[in-house]
A and B are shown apart, each in its own frame.
Chain A
């Protein structure tokens, strides 16, 4: 088949947003079905992409390139590789779920759905863009729908949270923009013409000092997005105040823009600086892992607990990336997908219970597994996945990350491993307080268990969690060639030698022990 699947992935949701806004007022009942259908169509396109993707090829595929503002060297340039492939798929997967989870929105459902679809298009654009200006445009534009999602449909303190979210990320973007502009000025000097083309910028010869500055400029933008300790302070507020679909998308995909940015831009464009700063960033990541987990333990608010757990989990991803080994980076990529699924599911579950009781205080609950057995089952399952129980997806990613980073940062890795332990503590302790025992509060006795729609939302997520936990090979096979290229590039550009290559250990071989 010959069609521009990448463009469609971006523009179908964006056009969908326009369609939803254009629906006549008196046909308000069409809003959700239309939005859902369009997001499913996008998911279909993503599915097509995953199946047609040539797994052994580590380069960019399905590349589309048209010069838009040629005198400035800005192109409409898209492409997908093993690193971005599953992030696109994850995005396309989470949006239909987010829409289904929001069918009870009462305030301006039309605008809500339009904002979601716009967000989807921009997010996919971020992962597909191979032109730095195009990347920046998507990166910035998606702040607008997200800002409205938090600010209009959020919880009680939504205004503060929305503003904090916007300003924090925009601050990072400012540095990113300066970095991009500076990089293009370098290209202008070295290549004779201005360009923002990622592939051409890879050929630049950037001095070591400039690499540090650029690494910093890009790094701050991405570190805020991840969020890496100490840039995480916007996250708990934004996650907690956002509506359920917003939290799912925020945690599920938005945060990955940061880790993806590190992997795509910092590692490849500034290899020298990457090698020098890897330990520093890994240390920050480990601080985040422990700090996020420790703070999560003491949260009285269930949603904040999940939010802080994201800080911890994303710390693992960053640790994996800056291990600069194939296992670590591959683990980081797959952990991005895992975290999107498990944390997305946790936010959905918190949203479901909040819809019934209108409180997220852990102390307001107790013993509700008696009245909501299905709900309790799903919650426990997801908590196990999030805590990294072997056989479920979280284990695969965390194991690979710890394996990959041990050879390079042994001390840090040992500390990070305690994060896995703490995850079990905060999740299971929360489970204990909310679900076990006798329902002693009157309001809790009247709770109804989740219905078919809600189970329908959760089942696909559970299925993927199990699938990725038991048989991650097809996914890893597609990720690894692209990751290998990144590592190879770092080795060519610097005197760095990756301690372990993927060929040294066969991952699917049972005899291997770390």
Chain B
């Protein structure tokens, strides 16, 4: 039997300890919020260090731990490296929001760390039950975070909507797990793969139905169309300071889980599920782009654009295991971009604000060159202009999809990405080319130090990996599941 390896859950322990400590210190000492932040930072740092240790350990000797529950492989390790960094940047972005929470700050920080714990487990889960638990830890924390501003009607609506639809998706996911179990007799991701490799199913209907439901459940979590209905309301209704984290974290973890399930458990059935994924990808890209054009609120626009990006990422997944590195490349760089974009929004609309009409951005370049410059860079990158990570991400996933024979999907994606430029550019036009509106400076423009650090990090990631993708490519090409 497997011995206990604490390294496999190292980052999880670090973050969980952080959660417990933050809450305990809060009730016993009622310290300044800075101290709580320091505890969170320490636990994230420890989590990051342990994730790196995992990476070093796992790249030589990937293994399944905890009686088949958790994988200690480069895929999981990379996921947890990315998520801890993402969590740190997200806390920096959310810092102004945390500060104004007063005595509820501890809960907020604890929820962020807790959801990160769930996300890390999603990337590492090797067992459907583990995956389901991780999914629920993540989702429930995010439901609460979405409605954290109790007295704001938009936030309440967002939270309830997210909760109801999210629970529904979890149920669909569970149903998929049950059907898959019925077909393969195993709840382990790898057990299912082993069974499918060794046996030929006489009737694959229940397996295919199971795979379909699993994909739908996870597609919901990553807000791919047509399972996206909740996303715009939730991202808009959540406080601006935290919407970015919700989008980015859910995408990274959701795609990690989806990629692992698809290519390991159901790898042999790729010719069955890849067309379905391709159709979801195409719908997401088209629906996300078309509806984003019609938005007049930047948060809703970013939400719809994130639906389109989910479609682009799925485009990479149709290539199966070959596409996984580029799925990583895309989702990681995109996660930081969307975090950065919402960071700018959180300044303009106020960290606790929920609505952020595009008109607030008129003439932003004059009022706040740093904010406008960052947002412009991110818009160009999301639009896929070369020399940004966004361009290379698209190039890579397109290439994989063409290699896998999905030329039609690439054509849809390429055309949609051009249509997408329309709304990304509109933001830039507003910021740089429109004069400031008559009422003068709508919205706040002061950028605090934490936010400045976060924006710098995001800009560096977007540009550096857009020009010199080599280092990240090397890492993602070895960040494969066991």
> Do B433 and A158 have beta carbons less than 8 Å apart?
yes
CA distance A158 to B435 in the complex (A): 13
Size of interface on B: residues with Cβ below 8 Å to A: 30
What is the CB-to-nearest-CB distance from B409 to chain A, in angstroms, rounded to a whole number? Answer: 10
Contact of A185 among B391, B399, B433 (CB under 8 A): B399
Q: Kindly supply a per-residue 1/0 record for chain A positions 373-404, scoring 1 wherever the CB is within 8 Å of any chain B CB and 0 otherwise.
A: 00000000000000000000000000000000
Give chain B residues whose Cβ lies under 8 Å from the Cβ of A177: 395, 398, 414
Q: With a CB–CB cut-off of 8 A, which chain A residues contact B429?
A: 151, 159, 162-163
Complex contacts, A175 vs chain B, CB 8 Å? 414
Q: Most chain-A CB neighbours within 10 Å: which of B403, B415, B426, B433?
A: B433
Closest to B407 in A: A182
Q: Does B402 contact A (CB under 8 A)?
A: yes
List residues of B (33-73) whose CB comes within 8 Å of A's CBs: none
Q: Taking CB as reference atom, which chain B residue is nearest A158?
A: B433
Contacts of B425 in A (CB 8 A): 147, 163, 166-167
Nearest residue (CB) in B for A188 is B403
A contacts with B, residue count (CB < 8 A): 34
CB-CB under 8 A for A137 and B386, given A178-B411, A185-B399: yes
Are the C-beta atoms of A167 and B387 separated by less than 8 Å?
Answer: no
What are the residues of chain A within 8 A of B426 when measuring CB–CB?
163
Q: Beta-carbon contacts of B465-480 to A below 8 Å, as 1s and 0s?
A: 0000110010001000
Question: Of B235-243, B262-270, B416-424, B449-457, which stretch is located at the interface?
Answer: B416-424
Structural contact, A181 and B415, CB atoms closer than 8 A: no
Cα separation A148 to B414 with both chains bound (whole Å):
23
Kindly state whether residue B328 has any CB partner on chain A within 8 Å. no
Minimal beta-carbon separation of A143 from chain B (angstroms)? 7
Check A69 against B433 for contact (C-beta < 8 Å): no
**B386 near A141 (CB under 8 angstroms)?**
yes
Q: Return the CB mask of B434-472 against A: 1 if under 8 Å, else 0.
A: 100000000000000000000000000000000001100
Residue among A136, A178, A181, A182 making CB contact with B386, cutoff 8 Å:
A136
Q: Is the CB of A184 within 8 A of B421?
A: no
| A247-274 contact mask (Cβ, 8 Å, vs B): 1 or 0 | 0000000000000000000000000000
Choose among B395, B402, B418, B433 the residue that contacts A174 (Cβ–Cβ < 8 A). Answer: B418
Contact with B along A167-197 (1 / 0, CB 8 A): 1001101110110011011001000001000
The answer to whether B380 has its CB under 8 Å from any CB of chain A is yes
Which of chain B's residues has its CB closest to A185's CB?
A: B402
Q: Which residues of chain A have C-beta atoms less than 8 A from B399's C-beta?
A: 72, 181, 184-185, 194
A140 interface residue, CB < 8 Å from B?
Answer: yes
Indicate which residue in A148, A166, A178, A182 contacts B421 across the interface (CB closer than 8 Å). Answer: A166
Q: Is A152 an interface residue (CB 8 A)?
A: yes
Q: Is A458 an interface residue (CB 8 A)?
A: no
Please judge, given known A-B contacts A69-B473, A141-B387, A177-B414, whether A167 and B398 are in contact too, CB under 8 Å: no
B385 in contact with A182 (CB, 8 Å): no
Complex interface: chain B residues within 8 A of A147 (CB): 425
Q: How far apart are the CA atoms of A213 and B50 in the complex, in Å?
A: 51
Q: What are the interface flags for B368-407 relative to A under an 8 Å C-beta threshold, 1 for contact and 0 otherwise?
A: 0000000000001000011100010001101100110001
Interface residue B234 (Cβ < 8 Å from any Cβ of A): no
Question: Which listed residue (B396, B415, B432, B473) contacts A171, Cβ 8 A?
Answer: B415
Does B410 reach chain A (CB closer than 8 Å)?
A: yes
Chain A residues in 8 Å Cβ range of B396: 72
Q: Is the CB of A140 within 8 A of B391?
A: yes
- A69 and B396 alpha carbons, distance in the complex (Å): 12
- Check if A140 sits within 8 Å of B386, measured CB to CB: yes
How distant is the Cα of A165 from the Cα of B431 in the complex, in angstroms?
19
CB distance A144 to B385 under 8 Å?
yes
Partner of A167, one of B418, B433, B434: B418
Main secondary structure of the interface of A (DSSP, over half): helix
Q: For chain A residues 114-166, which have a beta carbon within 8 Å of chain B?
A: 133, 136-137, 140-141, 143-144, 147-148, 151-152, 158-159, 162-163, 166
Q: Answer whether residue A71 sits at the interface, using C-beta atoms and an 8 A cutoff.
A: yes
Contact A143 B385 (CB under 8 A): yes
CA distance A158 to B415 in the complex (A): 25
Q: Report the nearest B residue to A194, measured CB to CB.
A: B399
**Hey, which chain A residues are within 8 Å of B434, CB to CB?**
159
**Is B385 in contact with A140, judged by CB distance below 8 angstroms?**
yes
- Contact bitstring A37-79, B, C-beta under 8 A = 1, else 0: 0000000000000000000000000000000110110000000
How far is A69 from B472 in the complex, measured between Cα atoms in Å?
12
Q: A137 contacts B470, CB within 8 Å?
A: no
Nearest CB of chain A from residue B380's CB, rounded to whole Å: 7
Query: Is B402 a contact of A182 with CB atoms below 8 Å?
Result: yes
Partner of B473, one of A71, A136, A166, A178: A71
CB-CB nearest in chain B for A154: B433
Q: Collect the chain A residues with CB atoms within 8 Å of residue B422's CB.
A: 163, 167
Contact, CB under 8 Å: B418 / A171? yes
CA distance A71 to B474 in the complex (A): 10
Report Cα–Cα, A141/B407, bound state, in Å.
25
A248 CA / B398 CA spacing, docked (Å): 36
B385 touches A181 (CB 8 A): no
CA distance A144 to B407 in the complex (A): 28
Give the CA-CA distance A415 to B391 in the complex, in Å: 44
User: Which chain B residue has the least Cβ–Cβ distance from A144?
Assistant: B385
In the complex, residue of chain B having the shortest beta-carbon distance to the beta carbon of A139: B386
Which residues of A lie under 8 Å from residue B421 when comparing CB positions? Answer: 166-167, 170
Q: Which of A136, A137, A151, A170 contacts B433 (CB 8 A)?
A: A151
Inter-chain contacts of A148 with B (CB < 8 A): 432
A194 to B395, CA, bound (A): 13
Which B residues are CB-close (under 8 A) to A137? Answer: 386-387, 391
Kindly provide the distance from the CB of B434 to the nearest chain A CB, expressed in whole angstroms.
Answer: 8
Interface pair B432/A141, CB less than 8 Å apart: no
Residue in chain B with minimal CB distance to A142:
B386
Note all chain A residues with C-beta closer than 8 A to B402. 178, 181-182, 185
Contact yes or no, B433 A133, CB < 8 A: no
Interface centre among A71, A137, A170, A184 (most CB of B within 10 A): A170
Whether B414 pairs with A174 at a CB distance below 8 angstroms is yes
Contact of A69 among B387, B432, B470 (CB under 8 A): B470
Task: Name the A residues within 8 Å of B407 (CB-CB).
Answer: 178, 182
B403 touches A69 (CB 8 A): no
Q: Which residue of B lies closest to A152 (CB)?
A: B433
Q: How far is the CB of A211 from chain B (nearest CB, A)?
A: 15
Are the C-beta atoms of B385 and A151 separated by less than 8 Å?
Answer: no
Contact with A along B291-321 (1 / 0, CB 8 A): 0000000000000000000000000000000
> A159-B433, A167-B418 known; 6 other A-B pairs, CB under 8 Å?
A144-B380, A163-B429, A166-B425, A175-B414, A184-B399, A185-B403
- Between-chain CB contacts (< 8 Å), 15 pairs: A71-B477, A72-B399, A136-B386, A137-B387, A144-B385, A151-B429, A152-B432, A159-B429, A163-B426, A166-B421, A170-B421, A171-B415, A171-B418, A181-B395, A182-B402
